[in-house]
Amino acid sequence: MKNDLFINNEWSPASSGDRFEVINPATEEVITEVASATPDDVERAVAAARACFESDEWQNMDARQRGKLLVKAADLLKERMNDVCELETLHNGKPLFESRIDASMASETLRYYGGWADKLGGETIPVNGPFLTFTQREPVGVVGGIVPWNFPLNLAAWKFAPALAAGCPIIIKPASETPLTALAMAEIMKDAGMPAGAFQVLTGGGSTVGAGLVKHPGVDKISFTGSTEVGKGLMRDAADTLKRITLELGGKSPNIIFGDADIKSAVRGALNGIFYGKGEVCAAGSRLLVERSVHDQVVEELAARAARMVPGDPFSKDTRLGAVVSKKQQESVLSYIEAGKKEAELVAGGNAAQVNGKGYFVEATIFDQATPGMKIVDEEIFGPVLSVISFDGVEEGIELANKTQYGLASGIWTQDIKKAFRIAKAIKAGTVWINTYNFYDPAAPFGGYKASGFGRDLGRVALEGYTEHKTVWVSL
């Protein structure tokens, strides 16, 4: 298990020698102590990234060769899948089957962008006058990729795969709770043949390493996934260097069940929408809007199934609900649950839990009779807590769906396709799932409206964030 900084294709401790503990949230045990990077380490990594970016080796590397390196990394990740998934479960607490889904997507994302590397062409433009005018795509430069703890490797891949495909060296700053799989990825990149400085990992604090990258004049672009609060500060910090930024922020996504839905599928989708990833999912369907005509049936089935989702050992193949990421996160989720108990009706869960007498687990929790204005309805909880809100008819459904500062994702359950499309158009969110929830693909763009941020990860469109368009005029 790697636990040092990865700078310029070499492993080194922090310049101060400082380290911080990484805790297994399911057992409360210390897994390892990871290097805590200092401002000097940030300088070293940025210098190495710039040297790589400006080197003949990088500048003259064929785009197709860059693509091959990404595909090689995808293959190596697949080969080492078991080890990587164990690490992901160890530091995050998610069930092993989820780590497998996430790491497989990370591998597929590398493969997808490996295919794009040699397809980033410009266009010829019919201007007035005797000119040949065309555009070419160039990498924006050195990128800082700052990622949260909920999908540590996968969300990092959403940054490093398109950045490298576009020709941008990237420095990954993982969350302090979950640094181990980014470090495993560094080893994979080196073994794949990635030149020194192209892919680096700095573990350490948000205010030192994260903010250090954001403020550094040698970093051209920051791609951030995390909370709305940190995202706002990051935007301010990025202003002085006019840094390009992409912000993937929080959410409080509506999942809307209409009376004419296939109720069995909708209930399954609602549970998957909130309890997959222990609810620590930016796109979690944490506000379940249920049309009053089917309210009782839906809530009864939800509560019965949630009661069977007992938190368990994340390494057991039967476990569907793992440990939340940390004690701090457990305390935060429990404080929301206490607020909910005062305002709404608890129909499932509502307590902390332990497995073998240890761990930061929270029961699958459902509140009924929730309404806007309640803390559990308005704020992102980021845990396994669902709020059920009743409504009557399409107009009220749309109004409630949009009654949030966020706009990341949404779900619609109905068998009336015209109605579904009309609502999909009216919802202000970056993703709308119709009769499904929580599906992702490297080719499908993902990102937010409103306080959920701007810019997109994934798909062809994400490459826009890592390239400049240069216009060339030739007098004929």
Q: Which residues contact 415 (CB under 8 A, 6 or more apart)?
A: 260, 261, 262, 435
Q: Is 172 in the site for ligand NAD (CB under 6 A)?
A: no
Give yes or no for residue 227 binding ligand NAD (CB under 6 A).
yes
Q: What is the gyration radius of the CA atoms in the chain, in angstroms? A: 23
Q: Which stretch binds ligand NAD (CB under 6 A): 77-85, 120-128, 224-232, 301-309?
A: 224-232
Measured distance CA(99)–CA(371) in Å, rounded: 34
CB of 125 to ligand NAD, least distance (A): 34
Q: Does residue 93 belong to the site contacting ligand NAD (CB under 6 A)?
A: no
Please tell me whether residue 206 binds ligand NAD under the rule CB under 6 A: yes
- Closest to ligand NAD by CB, 188 or 202: 202
Q: Which of residues 419-458 bind ligand NAD (CB under 6 A)?
A: 448, 452-453
Among 157, 274, 282, 323, binds ligand NAD (CB under 6 A): 282
Choose, by CB under 6 A, the member of 93, 251, 285, 314 that binds ligand NAD: 251
Cα–Cα dist 68/115, whole Å: 8
Is 408 an interacting residue with respect to ligand NAD (CB under 6 A)?
A: yes
Q: Is 211 in the site for ligand NAD (CB under 6 A)?
A: yes
Which residue matches tokens 């497989």? 104
Residues sharing a CB contact under 8 Å with residue 58, sequence separation 6 or more, in sequence order: 52, 167, 169, 195, 198
Q: Is 148 in the site for ligand NAD (CB under 6 A)?
A: yes
Residue type, 442: P
DSSP for 130-179 reads SEEEEEEEEE---EEEE--SSSHHHHHHHHHHHHHHHT--EEEE--TT--
CA gap 430, 457 in Å, rounded? 11
Find the binder of ligand NAD among 214, 321, 385, 388 (CB under 6 A). Answer: 214
**Helix, strand and coil percent figures for the chain, each rounded to 5:** 45, 25, 35
Per CB under 6 A, 37 contacts ligand NAD: no
Distance of closest approach, residue 336 Cβ to ligand NAD, in angstroms: 13
Residue 146 touching ligand NAD (CB under 6 A): yes
**Which listed residue (98, 280, 282, 301) is catalytic?**
282
Clarify whether 79 is annotated catalytic: no
Rounded to a whole number of angstroms, the minimum distance from the CB of residue 209 to ligand NAD is: 7
CB of 28 to ligand NAD, least distance (A): 19
Other Cβ atoms within 10 Å of 310 Cβ, number: 16
Tell me if residue 52 is catalytic. no
**What are the distances in angstroms from CA 112 to CA 72, 74, 75, 182?**
12, 9, 12, 19
- Measured distance CA(165)–CA(173) in Å, rounded: 19
Among the listed ranges 90-98, 227-235, 255-263, 359-367, the one in contact with ligand NAD (CB under 6 A) is 227-235
Number of residues that bind ligand NAD (CB under 6 A): 31
Binding of residue 207 to ligand NAD (CB under 6 A) = yes
98 binds ligand NAD (CB under 6 A): no
Residue closer to ligand NAD by CB (options 182, 298) is 182
Region near ligand NAD per CB under 6 A, out of 249-257, 350-358, 392-400, 466-474? 249-257
The reply to whether 210 sits near ligand NAD by the rule CB under 6 A is yes
Select 64 or 232, whichever has its Cβ closest to ligand NAD: 232
Catalytic residue (choose from 248, 291, 301, 363): 248
Q: Is 224 helix (H, G, I), strand (E, B) or coil?
A: strand
φ, ψ at 178 (rounded to 5°): -135, 65
Minimal distance, residue 159 CB to ligand NAD, in Å: 11
CB-CB contact of 144 with 214 (8 Å)? yes
Of 73 and 281, nearer to ligand NAD (C-beta) is 281
| First-to-last C-alpha distance (Å) of the chain | 60
Q: Specify burial of residue 215 (Cβ count, 10 A radius: 0-12, 13-18, 19+).
A: middle
For residue 471, give the 3-state DSSP assignment. Answer: strand
Q: Which parts of 277-384 are beta strand (E)?
A: 287-291, 345-348, 352-355, 358-362, 365-368
Contacts of 383 (CB under 8 A, 6+ apart): 278, 279, 280, 324, 329, 330, 332, 333, 336, 362
Query: Is residue 173 at the binding interface for ligand NAD, with CB under 6 A as the rule?
Result: yes
Of positions 116, 336, 361, 382, contacts ligand NAD by CB under 6 A = 382
Q: Which is nearer to ligand NAD, 218 or 233 (CB)?
A: 233
Q: Which stretch binds ligand NAD (CB under 6 A): 111-119, 132-140, 219-227, 358-366?
A: 219-227
At residue 150, φ and ψ (nearest 5 deg) are -80, -35
Active site residues: 248, 282
Task: Return residues touching ligand NAD (CB under 6 A).
Answer: 146-150, 155, 173, 175-176, 206-207, 210-211, 214, 225-227, 230, 233-234, 248-251, 282, 380, 382, 408, 448, 452-453
